[in-house]
Amino acid sequence: MSGPLVVLVGPMGVGKSTVGELLAARLGTTYRDTDADVVAEAGKPIAEIFYDEGEDHFRALERRAVAAAVTGHTGVLSLGGGAVLDGTTRELLAGRPVVYLSMDVEEAVRRVGLGAARPLLAVNPRRQWRELMDARRHLYEEVARAVVATDDRTPEEVAQAIIDAL
Ligand code: S3P
């Protein structure tokens, strides 16, 4: 099956972009991020897509961006934190080298905080984070070939753990 060497999934703020870029450099390949693809396609930041057109519209753009990248990109690929909510996306990921980067709630709140660029966490980050993870944890686990915990690891250590896991 051609496609990405590694697909990173996991919640926002877990370090998919930082680790993905590092990993791509170490593997001598390119890095791609479906959030960036959506922003390029829409011509505006993700927070503005949410506020102007709503989450459903964002998810439709995301589904298209993920399908294009999973079938067309051969390097390291990161998916937006909510991409796994989509059943078609989960089917597309079956059999691919998907790694779930995990972190616990307190670590998430510390890393992501109240960032306005992350509209899903704008009101009560700790409670919203719990709800988000309760709804998604099993979806990340369903699509993943390996789980790598990031809590006590540097990005370099996470990149190495991914290489070891695959
Ligand atoms: C989202 C995660 C974000 C971005 C959007 C929605 C989510 O991506 O796609 O804000 O639903 O968890 P990152 O995980 O890259 O921050």
Model confidence pLDDT, tens digit, residues 54-75? 999 999 999 999 999 999 999 9
pLDDT for 142 beyond 90: yes
User: Which one of 118, 129, 130 would you pick to mutate in the ligand 1 pocket, going by the greatest count of ligand atoms within 8 A of its CB?
Assistant: 118
Regarding predicted confidence, which is higher, 159 or 113? 159
> For ligand 1, atom 8, which residue shows the shortest CA distance?
80
Q: Is 46 in the pocket of ligand 1 (CB under 6 A)?
A: yes
Q: What is the ipTM of this complex?
A: 0.98
Q: Is 81 in the pocket of ligand 1 (CB under 6 A)?
A: yes
* SS3 assignment, position 125: helix
Q: Is 103 in the pocket of ligand 1 (CB under 6 A)?
A: no
Domain boundaries, the chain: 6-165
Largest CA distance in the chain: 42
> For ligand 1, atom 10, which residue shows the shortest CA distance?
118
* SS3 assignment, position 162: helix
> Which CA distances in Å does 152 have to 103, 142, 146?
9, 24, 17
- Specify whether the CB–CB gap between 7 and 147 falls below 8 A: no
CA of 28 to the centre of ligand 1 (A): 26
Q: Which atom of ligand 1 is nearest to the CA of 55?
A: 6
Query: Rg of the Cα trace of the chain?
Result: 15
Superfamily grouping for domain 6-165: P-loop containing nucleotide triphosphate hydrolases (3.40.50.300)
Nearest of 144, 138, 165, 141 to residue 153 by alpha carbon: 165
Q: Is 12 in the pocket of ligand 1 (CB under 6 A)?
A: yes
What pLDDT, in 10s, does the model give residues 50-59? 999 999 999 9
What pLDDT, in 10s, does the model give residues 80-121? 999 999 999 999 999 999 999 999 888 887 777 655 556 666
Rounded CA separation 166/164 (Å):
6
* SS3 assignment, position 52: helix
